[in-house]
Amino acid sequence: MTPPILVAEDLVAGYFEDIHILQGISVQAWPGRITCVLGPNGTGKSTLLKTLFGFLRPVQGRVIYQGEDITGLPPYEMPNRGIAYLPQRPSIFPFLSVEVNLRLGAWHERRDRRQVREKIEELYRRFPLLWEKRYQPAGQLSGGQQRQLEIARSLMTDPVLYLIDEPTAGIDPQTSEAIYRMIHQLAREQGKAILLVDQNIKKALEIADYIYVVRVGTLFAEGPREAFGRDTEALVARWLYASGEP
Ligand SMILES: Nc1ncnc2c1ncn2[C@@H]1O[C@H](COP(=O)(O)OP(=O)(O)O)[C@@H](O)[C@H]1O
Ligand SMILES: [Mg+2]
């Protein structure tokens, strides 16, 4: 198996000095594979991604990426290193056009106009819908379309590692399917390492290669997808109410 591109070890982090939301979590991600972090609401999944992307500085533990210690590096350094992040909360600029939103995804390469243009055109081929709506204010798009725009924007930096937080929460089933297909392609066809946080356990069990289950700031279980079986209801019940290994 290929070695991991991301190794996060024993992370302790939170929003206040003395309250630790992550209480010693270790996760890894691999090129070409989808790694999924599952767990009930409020257990720290988003906090984990925010810590990996540098929005929160861990008080303990370290983040190793491509063999280098990047713990405590600020978020604006991440795109230059090939790390992208799709936040759980909407992050488009509603009054700016679709195309300007896309262009803002490449602010760190803004001086190379030709390269930015080429990337936008590549993304229009991949998301024809965004091409059709390119001059419209992004706020006029439906929720699912806005999510696709956010995904396209985060791909402007050509990430190697993509941290994705709940890509389809509150989005219609058809668009959700398209988004999961895209995530699958990003891993399988483009070799990106995907670290996906999701509430959609059923879907995660379908597309994930490796799964981590969190419960209140700690890891509860982990393993390759096959180790978890297909009975999602039984799994959820066990995660929520029981303790021990899967
Ligand atoms: N910006 C914040 N400030 C303070 N507490 C927060 C903030 N964001 C999340 N929390 C708290 O951290 C805990 C974990 O939240 P979160 O990581 O968003 O969980 P999840 O993504 O698994 O639902 C929750 O108790 C939540 O209330
Ligand atoms: Mg969350």
Question: Is residue 15 within 6 Å of ligand 1 at its C-beta?
Answer: yes
pLDDT band at 107 (very low <50, low <70, confident <90, very high): confident
pLDDT band at 240 (very low <50, low <70, confident <90, very high): low
Greatest Cα pair distance in the chain: 55
From the CA of 37, the nearest ligand is 1
Question: Is residue 216 within 6 Å of ligand 1 at its C-beta?
Answer: no
Residue 244: per-residue pLDDT: 46
Nearest CA to ligand 1 atom 2: 15
Return d(Cα 82, Cα 80) in angstroms, integer.
6
In this structure, the number of other CB atoms found within 10 A of the CB of residue 84 comes to 22
Question: Is residue 63 within 6 Å of ligand 1 at its C-beta?
Answer: no
Return d(Cα 158, Cα 160) in angstroms, integer.
7
CA dist 97 → 94, 102, 111 (Å)? 8, 9, 20
Give the ligand 1 atom nearest the CA of 44: 17
Residue 110: per-residue pLDDT: 67
CA of 139 to the centre of ligand 1 (A): 26
Domains present along the chain, CATH in parentheses: 1-82+159-246 (3.40.50.300), 93-157 (no CATH)
pLDDT band at 31 (very low <50, low <70, confident <90, very high): very high
Nearest CA to ligand 1 atom 18: 46
Return d(Cα 186, Cα 160) in angstroms, integer.
10
**What percentage of the chain has pLDDT greater than the value 70?**
93
Question: Is residue 84 within 6 Å of ligand 1 at its C-beta?
Answer: no
pLDDT band at 71 (very low <50, low <70, confident <90, very high): very high
Show Cβ contacts of residue 182 under 8 Å, excluding neighbours closer than 6 positions.
126, 151
* Mean pLDDT, the chain, integer: 91
Return d(Cα 108, Cα 76) in angstroms, integer.
9
Question: Is residue 47 within 6 Å of ligand 1 at its C-beta?
Answer: yes
Return d(Cα 203, Cα 231) in angstroms, integer.
12
Residue 245: per-residue pLDDT: 45
Give this prediction's pTM.
0.93
Place of tokens 């509860």: 220
From the CA of 56, the nearest ligand is 1
Q: Look at residue 73 and tell me whether its pLDDT is greater than 80.
A: yes
Residue 101: per-residue pLDDT: 96
Q: Look at residue 186 and tell me whether its pLDDT is greater than 80.
A: yes
Question: Is residue 148 within 6 Å of ligand 1 at its C-beta?
Answer: no
Return d(Cα 155, Cα 217) in angstroms, integer.
29
Residue in 11, 12, 15 to alter for ligand 1 test, most ligand atoms within 8 A of Cβ:
15
- Sheet of 22-29: strand order equals 22-29, 6-13, 60-65, 68-69
Nearest CA to ligand 1 atom 16: 44
**What percentage of the chain has pLDDT greater than the value 90?**
74
CA dist 67 → 6, 8, 16 (Å)? 8, 11, 29
71-80, 140-149, 174-183, 229-238: which range is least confident on average? 229-238
Which comes out higher in pLDDT, residue 110 or 128?
A: 128
